[in-house]
Amino acid sequence: MLVPLVLGAGGLLLSVGLIRPVAWTEDPSTPEPVSQVAPSREPPPRLASVSPRPAAQPEAAPLSPEEAERLEQKQLWEKRLERARFTYDSYVQSTRYPPESRSIKEHPDQVYPAQPERKQPLAKGQRDIALKLKQDKLFVVGDEVVRFFVGCENANSDQPLPCEVHSAVAHEAPHMAAAANSSPVPLDFNDSGRNGDEVAGDSTWTGSFQPARQGFALFEGTLRVDFRVRANGNTEGGAFFDIMFTPAPPATFTGKVREVVEQGSLQLYVGLQVRKPGRYVMAGRVDDEAGIPFAYVSFNEELEAGAREVKFTVFGRLLHDENPAFPLKLRDVEGFLLREQGDPDREVVKSLLGPVHTTREYTLEGFSQEEWMSEERERYLKELGKDVNDAQQQVDELSGPPKGNQGPTRSP
**pLDDT tens track for 189-227:** 999 988 788 888 888 999 999 999 999 999 999 999 999
**One domain for residues 151 and 226:** yes
30 inside domain: no
Q: How many domains does the chain have?
A: 3
CATH number of the domain bearing residue 263: 2.60.40.10
Domain boundary among 204, 221, 246: 246
405 inside domain: no
329 inside domain: yes
**One domain for residues 242 and 255:** no
What is the side-by-side strand order in the sheet with 126-135? 118-123, 126-135, 146-154, 204-209, 189-190
Domain boundary among 224, 246, 268: 246
Q: Which of 376, 384, 412, 382 is nearest to 397 (CA)?
A: 412
Helix/strand/coil for 385: helix
Domain boundary among 197, 227, 246: 246
21 inside domain: no
Q: Exposed, middle or buried, 261 (CB in 10 Å: 0-12/13-18/19+)? A: middle
- Cis amide bond preceding 108, omega within 30: no
Helix/strand/coil for 293: strand
The pLDDT assigned to 54 comes to 59
353 inside domain: yes
Which structural domain, as residue segments, surrounds residue 157? 118-246
**One domain for residues 153 and 237:** yes
298 inside domain: yes
User: pLDDT digits over 280-309, tens only?
Assistant: 999 999 999 999 999 999 999 999 999 999
322 inside domain: yes
Dmax over CA atoms of the chain, in Å, equals 138
311 contact partners, CB below 8 Å, separation of at least 6: 267, 268, 269, 270, 299
Q: Find the helix or strand (DSSP H, E) in which 395 lies.
A: helix 375-399
104 inside domain: no
**One domain for residues 355 and 380:** no
User: pLDDT digits over 42-84, tens only?
Assistant: 444 444 444 556 566 666 678 788 888 889 999 999 999 999 9
The pLDDT assigned to 217 comes to 94
Identify whether the C-beta of residue 339 lies closer than 8 Å to the C-beta of residue 234. Answer: no
| Pairing relationship of beta strands 235-246 and 139-141 according to DSSP bridges | parallel
Identify whether the C-beta of residue 398 lies closer than 8 Å to the C-beta of residue 74. Answer: yes
The DSSP-derived string for 253-289 is EEEEEEEEEETTEEEEEEEEEESS-EEEEEEEEEE-T
The DSSP-derived string for 81-117 is HHHHHHHHHHHHHHTSS-TTEEEGGG-GGGSS-SPPP
**One domain for residues 360 and 288:** yes
**One domain for residues 314 and 205:** no
- pLDDT by residue for the chain (412 residues), tens only, comes to 433 333 344 443 334 343 344 343 344 444 444 444 344 444 444 444 445 565 666 666 787 888 888 899 999 999 999 999 999 999 999 999 999 999 999 999 999 988 789 999 998 877 889 999 999 999 999 999 999 999 999 988 989 999 999 999 999 998 875 555 568 999 999 999 887 888 888 889 999 999 999 999 999 999 999 999 999 877 899 999 999 999 999 999 999 999 999 999 999 999 999 999 999 999 999 999 999 999 999 999 999 999 999 999 999 999 999 999 999 999 999 999 999 888 899 999 999 999 999 999 999 999 999 999 999 999 999 999 999 999 999 999 999 887 654 444 444 4
- Phi/psi at 127 (5° precision): -80, -5
CATH number of the domain bearing residue 149: 2.60.40.1930
